[in-house]
A and B are shown apart, each in its own frame.
Chain A
Amino acid sequence: MNERLLSVEGVTKKFGGLVAVNNASLYLSKNEIVGLIGSNGAGKTTLFNVIAGDLAPTSGKVVYLGSEIQALPPHRICRLGVARTYQIVKPFSELTVLENVMVGAFLHTARTGEVRDLALEVLADVGLIERRNTVGKDLNLPQLKRLELARALATTPKLLMLDEVMAGLNPTESAKVIELVQGISSLRGVTLLIIEHVMKAIMTLSDRVYVMNQGLVIAEGKPEDVVQNPEVIKSYLGARAHA
């Protein structure tokens, strides 16, 4: 396998008495697409927040390209090449789509012209180019999800973490986003960590999958193997199978 990009080593995050993430460990190699699944409240987003620096872990280490990053603030981690999207979209609602993406693109240069070109390029890639002059608050949900993606991509990340970019989208829209994500991975060589409830997306996209339940990582493997794992079926997929 390729070089190790990120490893999470025994991370625990407690909120008071609640253990949201319990001694979780995982790793990503360069150019991998890794899925992170689990029922609601399993701790997936909390783990994302720890990796991105939004939350400091109670214990454990996050190692990115050989150095520990768990004590760094989000903007420093972003500068190292880790970008994320938010499950609950956070657009800059008064700014246009282009300006939203330019905020991300300013990370590596202060030249406004260059930044605008980079942002336009990203917008063309994610299919938002026609909406470039629309302000954030006038976008619909699928467009907002794409905007989240575009902004994160504009920081030219090495590792991109997608938190439910397909939630709330219909199957046609999801299929388009799956294509888009595949394109990002193959064309830009970005490593991806994806939280997703849409199983079709996870099965098609992921090289490997981690399964979380009640803060614990309970399984790891190829997507087709993981869905056969009895513990996974019991904790997560079982509930849907009976539904």
Chain B
Amino acid sequence: MDKKHIAILLAILFAVAMVPVFDDDPYFLQIFIMIMLFAYWGTSWNMISGFAGQMSLGHAAFAGIGAYTSTVLFINYGLSPWLGMLVGGVIAGGFGLLIGYPCFKLRGTYFTLATIAFLNVIRILVLANQSVLGFDIRGAQGLSVPWRGDSLVNMQFLSKTPYFYLILVLLLVVILISHLIKESKMGYYLAAIKTNQEAANSLGVDVTRYKLMAQFISVFFTAIGGSFYAQFILFIDPQRLLGFDLSLEIAIIALIGGQGSVLGPALGAFILVPVAELTRAHISGELAALPIILYGLSLMVIIYYLPEGVHKYIARWFRPSAK
């Protein structure tokens, strides 16, 4: 990244950070928070699926594990979600390694299939059980996060503005980590693994180990996003949070934005989430199916004209002329 790049990014960041100052309309902020949450999830997903080329279609499972862990700990022990989200991240990471380990020795679609299977197992497990390990999770009804007052320790706020800044910071953290990975030995190794595992292996790359590292980091942050979601919406349910739809949304956003690049997934969220939110909010009644149709159409247009993701075409404009 050169100075021009950094200046542009800082300008965008400043503009986004100013949003709540000029307009604190809750609905408006809500859309921005959802954009940034999906940007955050897409960026996390990208670490394993974009950088290492191991396509996960079950990332919602990790978001769900994060959300349920922090919520259950908050309800039962009053543990602050700030700590609960870390516990959730580590538990999700453990599961991530467990699925990754047998699959990463293989090539092809086994990992993708395993992620879908894992997601379904977790969802059915939550749907069918009122309690897991002795903790009340209320099955298909979903779980409400009890309101314990406007407080930083409980990560609960009356205004949407604190949530806005919290997810902004989380998004910046995953983008920064992505950038550091991409520019480091690990980034080069993952890119090599993505194109040719055998060649990477012959050049001294421990393929399984690097995939597992990427998987752990990816699902850890995905789970933290899940805990944020729980604190923001104050309600979690298996159909939405452990759904295949959510998994697919995360993947599509990153793919449209540009998987494998640092900023592509975030860009994808800034393009697709508003389309989804605005069409859903402003079109209703007889035309209720229209949002989904419009969403699908915009996907088709982007995939047809920009098959490698939007990021690549935007990056081309900014490419320094020298070199």
Q: Hey, which bits of chain A sit against chain B, CB under 8 A?
A: 52, 54, 73-75, 78-79, 83-84, 86, 90-95, 99, 102-104, 106-107, 110, 112, 115, 133, 136, 151-152, 154-155
Contact = CB atoms under 8 A, between A and B. Distances in A.
A103 B184 contact: no
A112 B183 CA distance: 8
B206 interface: yes
Given A103-B203, A107-B203, A112 B184 contact: yes
Contact of A74 (B192, B195, B201, B323): B201
A95 B191 contact: yes
Contacts of A107: 203-204
Contacts of B192: 92, 95, 103
B212 to A, nearest CB: 14
A30 B79 CA distance: 63
A83 B200 CA distance: 12
Contacts of A152: 202-203
A161 B258 CA distance: 38
Contacts of A154: 203
B153 to A, nearest CB: 39
B184 A92 contact: no
A52 B202 contact: yes
A83 B199 CA distance: 11
Given A52-B202, A75-B206, A78-B204, 18 more contacts: A75-B203, A75-B204, A75-B205, A79-B204, A86-B198, A91-B195, A91-B199, A92-B195, A92-B200, A95-B195, A103-B188, A103-B191, A112-B184, A112-B185, A133-B323, A136-B195, A151-B199, A152-B202
A155 B191 contact: no
Given A92-B195, A133-B323, A83 B184 contact: no
A-B interface, 8 closest residue pairs, ranked by CB to CB distance from nearest: A78-B204, A90-B199, A107-B204, A92-B195, A110-B185, A103-B192, A74-B201, A104-B203
Contacts of A99: 188, 191
Interface of B: 183-185, 188-189, 191-192, 194-196, 198-207, 323
Contact of B203 (A73, A93, A136, A151): A151
A54 B197 CA distance: 12
A151 B194 CA distance: 17
A69 to B, nearest CB: 14
15 contacts: A73-B206, A74-B201, A74-B202, A75-B205, A75-B206, A84-B202, A92-B195, A92-B196, A99-B191, A106-B188, A106-B189, A107-B204, A112-B183, A112-B184, A152-B202
B94 to A, nearest CB: 25
A78 B203 contact: yes
